[in-house]
């Protein structure tokens, strides 16, 4: 179990997501007295997550906000994603780094079309675990039948755990409910504390995207963060682009020499042979190196008001490498508007060594960037083979 859990929240506007987040922070005693002064009653809990002046003035949430709380068992980084404005863009952003998603539904309405879309986005981003928080159980008479029919109604490619709650009264958020004897499972916080959602990155093939070359006294070390796997001194590795093979001569973990290093450590490696290695190169074990390609296939979420069109020139940012590319094909429709999701093929000006997103959420991910103004246009999940 990982000591740090990154999670995201999702839900429609009035399902009580902000109240749930406020309740989690409040009841886990993560809200300090000077912030608590603003909370006069449980219905004010949502105020704890309000951010910007523009949001308070318009009564909306514009952007993903990050919350931090801890219990004696675990530290949490929570990406709080707003429900209506730009929901796909915000949810994709929050889900991209999440190991678990808490999806809130209103027990009176059950699983709606928007709930299914949120679950589909979380599934597309490969968030391993989903908590379906069936909220407002107090308004359906704490009914087991209502809960059971909702809990069975959602398909998800990963693990799903349904929990009946009332964010307003606090039932089953941090403290077990006294109104739902029929429920024997964990509260939301108990589940978050014990979820095996943390991905074991060390089980993946080793990948070191080179960020920066550290030069000292004629020696070169290649600095980067291991995105997966374990790397040993003496191991045979391949450097892409180029495909030259060599041996790992030494590894430092932030200045300390070691015999082996593992994801997600930030390290620097020295190689036995004098190769041309610069920022954007990928170092991986010779036996499990990815195939280089110039034809990139990806499912993309388009995040920008300016539509993505066939024939358009873009920059592809993949790990530490950015290359020019042209959009060759966009499935169904031929263009993607803001918040659209579709399959895209781009042809790149140089080789990229990519993994399938299903195998790695880091070396299988990319951004499409506007070469003109530098805007992030789309987020891509790469398919290989």
Tokens matching residue 192: 């978050």
Binding mask 4-43 for another protein (x = CB under 8 A): x---------------------------xxxx--------
Q: Note whether 366 binds another protein by CB under 8 A.
A: yes
Q: Give the residue, chosen from 149, 169, 211, 288, that forms a contact with another protein under the rule CB under 8 A.
A: 211
- Smallest distance, Å, CB 3 to another protein? 4
- Smallest distance, Å, CB 2 to another protein? 8
Binding mask 41-70 for another protein (x = CB under 8 A): ---------xxxxx-x-----xxxxxxx-x
Range 128-147, binding another protein (CB under 8 A): none
Q: Note whether 156 binds another protein by CB under 8 A.
A: no
Q: Note whether 92 binds another protein by CB under 8 A.
A: yes
- Which lies closer to another protein via its Cβ, residue 140 or residue 263? 263
- Smallest distance, Å, CB 361 to another protein? 7
Q: Note whether 307 binds another protein by CB under 8 A.
A: no
Q: Note whether 320 binds another protein by CB under 8 A.
A: yes
Q: Note whether 93 binds another protein by CB under 8 A.
A: yes
The one segment of 87-95, 151-159, 165-173, 288-296 that binds another protein by CB under 8 A:
87-95
**C-beta neighbour count of 40 within 10 angstroms:** 9
**Three-state SS annotation for the chain:** CCCEEEEEEEECHHHCHHHHHHHHHHHCCCCCHHHHCCCCCHHHHHHHHCCCHHHHHHCCCCCCEEEEEEECCEEEEEEECCCCCCHHHHHHHHHHCCCEEEEEEECCCCCCHHHHHHHHHHHHCCCCEEEEEEECHHHHCCCHHHHHHHHCCCCCCCEEEEEECECCCCECCCECCCCCCCCCCCCHHHHHHHCCCCCCHHHCCCEEECCEEEEECCEEEEEEECCECEEECCCEEEEECCCEEEEEEEEEECCEEECEEECCCEEEEEECCCCCCCCCCEEEEHHHCCCEEEEEEEEEEECCCCCEECCCEEEEEECCEEEEEEEEEECCCCEECCCCEEEEEEEEEEEEECCCCCCCCCCCEEEEECCCCCCEEEEEEEECC
**C-beta neighbour count of 326 within 10 angstroms:** 14
- Which lies closer to another protein via its Cβ, residue 57 or residue 274? 57
Range 233-262, binding another protein (CB under 8 A): 252, 254-255, 262
- Smallest distance, Å, CB 319 to another protein? 8
Q: Give the residue, chosen from 147, 154, 361, 382, that forms a contact with another protein under the rule CB under 8 A.
A: 361
Q: Note whether 3 binds another protein by CB under 8 A.
A: yes
**C-beta neighbour count of 117 within 10 angstroms:** 16
- Smallest distance, Å, CB 172 to another protein? 25
Q: Give the residue, chosen from 13, 77, 338, 350, that forms a contact with another protein under the rule CB under 8 A.
A: 77
Binding mask 180-199 for another protein (x = CB under 8 A): --------------------
Sign of CA dihedral 30, 35, 39, 45: negative
Tokens matching residue 263: 């994801």
The one segment of 135-143, 163-171, 210-218, 323-331 that binds another protein by CB under 8 A:
210-218
Q: Interface with another protein by CB under 8 A: which residues? A: 2-4, 32-35, 50-54, 56, 62-68, 70, 75, 77, 89-90, 92-93, 96-97, 202, 211-212, 214-216, 223-225, 230, 252, 254-255, 262, 264-266, 279, 303, 317, 319-320, 361-362, 365-367, 369, 373-376, 379
């Amino acid at each position: 179990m990982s000591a740090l859990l990154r999670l995201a929240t999702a839900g429609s506007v009035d399902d009580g997501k902000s109240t749930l987040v406020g309740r989690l922070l409040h009841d886990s005693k993560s809200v300090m007295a000077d912030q608590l002064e603003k909370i006069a009653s449980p219905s004010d809990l949502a105020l704890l997550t309000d951010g910007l002046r523009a949001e308070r003035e318009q009564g909306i949430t514009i952007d993903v906000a990050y919350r931090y709380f801890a219990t004696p068992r675990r530290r949490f980084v929570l990406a709080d994603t707003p429900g209506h404005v730009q929901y796909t863009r915000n949810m994709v952003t929050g889900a991209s780094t999440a190991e678990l998603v808490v999806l809130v539904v209103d027990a009176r309405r059950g699983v709606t079309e928007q709930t299914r879309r949120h679950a589909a986005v979380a599934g597309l981003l490969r968030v391993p675990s989903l908590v379906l928080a069936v909220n407002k159980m107090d308004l359906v008479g704490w009914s087991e039948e209502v809960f059971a029919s909702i809990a069975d109604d959602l398909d998800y490619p990963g693990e799903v755990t349904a929990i009946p709650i009332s964010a307003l009264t606090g039932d089953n958020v941090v403290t077990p409910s006294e109104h739902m004897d029929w429920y024997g499972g964990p509260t939301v916080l108990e589940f978050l504390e014990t979820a095996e959602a943390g991905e074991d990155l060390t089980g993946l093939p080793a990948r070191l995207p080179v960020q920066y070359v550290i030069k000292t006294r004629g020696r070169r070390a290649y600095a980067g963060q291991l995105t997966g796997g374990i790397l040993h001194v003496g191991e045979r590795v391949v450097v892409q682009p180029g495909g030259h093979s060599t041996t790992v001569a030494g590894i430092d973990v932030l200045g300390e020499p070691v015999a082996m290093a593992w994801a997600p450590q930030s390290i620097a490696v020295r190689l036995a042979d004098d190769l041309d290695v610069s920022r954007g190169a990928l170092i991986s074990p010779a036996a499990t190196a990815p195939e280089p390609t110039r034809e990139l296939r990806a499912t993309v979420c388009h995040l920008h008001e300016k539509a993505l069109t066939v024939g358009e020139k873009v920059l592809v940012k993949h790990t530490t490498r950015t290359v020019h590319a042209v959009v060759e094909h966009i499935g169904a429709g031929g263009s993607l508007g803001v918040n659209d999701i579709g399959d895209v093929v781009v042809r790149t000006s140089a080789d990229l060594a990519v993994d399938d997103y299903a195998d790695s959420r880091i070396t299988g991910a990319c951004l499409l960037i506007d070469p003109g103004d530098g805007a992030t246009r789309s987020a891509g999940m790469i398919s290989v083979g």
